[in-house]
């Protein structure tokens, strides 16, 4: 089974109060998991990568042979696909965690860049995470 994931990070200020949103859908488009949470004060890029980390952690708990991750962050998509170098130490740390999880994953991963207009559900989850002020666990 192929899972489609939509991820987003939001930051009110840069850095500022931040949250993450992750939506995982099956091949029929049904939502099988949704994650929304607060991560405290962070940059938008850190929030985006934290959403990615939450996504891959959740995907390892689900049955799939392919995970297609959709992000409206061009930076994240291009860095994860090796087109851009990672210079920020905070992003490097999260990137290493993601790559460690993916190296053991039993599924293939594809990361694509999409327009913001196609990511409104994950964006809503990220903003709800900020509003909730409930820290996300295990990220």
Would you state the pLDDT for residue 137?
A: 82
Q: From residue 5, how far is each of 50, 100, 106 by CA, in Å? A: 14, 19, 16
- What does the pLDDT read at residue 17? 98
Q: CATH for 2-132? A: 3.30.420.10
Q: Model-level pTM greater than 0.85?
A: yes
What is the pLDDT tens value at each position of the chain, 139 positions in all?
999 999 999 999 999 999 999 999 999 999 999 999 999 999 999 999 999 999 999 999 999 999 999 999 999 999 999 999 999 999 999 999 999 999 999 999 999 999 999 999 999 999 999 999 999 987 8
Residues found in the chain: 139
- For position 138, what pLDDT does the model report? 79
Name, in order, each residue with C-beta under 8 angstroms of 22's C-beta and a sequence gap of 6 or more: 5, 6, 7, 8, 33, 34, 35, 36, 51, 54, 55, 58, 122, 125
């Amino acid at each position: 089974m192929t899972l489609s994931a939509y991820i987003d990070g939001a930051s009110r200020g840069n850095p500022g109060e931040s949250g993450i949103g992750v939506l995982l859908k099956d091949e029929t488009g049904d939502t099988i998991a949704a994650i929304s949470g607060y991560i405290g004060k962070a940059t938008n890029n850190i929030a985006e990568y934290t959403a990615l980390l939450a996504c891959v952690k959740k995907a390892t708990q689900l049955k799939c042979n392919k995970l297609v991750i959709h992000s409206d962050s061009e930076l994240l998509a291009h860095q994860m696909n090796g087109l851009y170098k990672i210079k920020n130490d905070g992003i490097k740390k999260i990137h290493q965690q993601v790559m460690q999880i993916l190296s053991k994953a039993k599924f293939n991963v594809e990361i694509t860049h999409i327009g913001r207009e196609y990511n409104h559900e994950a964006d809503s989850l990220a903003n709800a995470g900020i509003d909730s002020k409930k820290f996300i666990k295990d990220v």
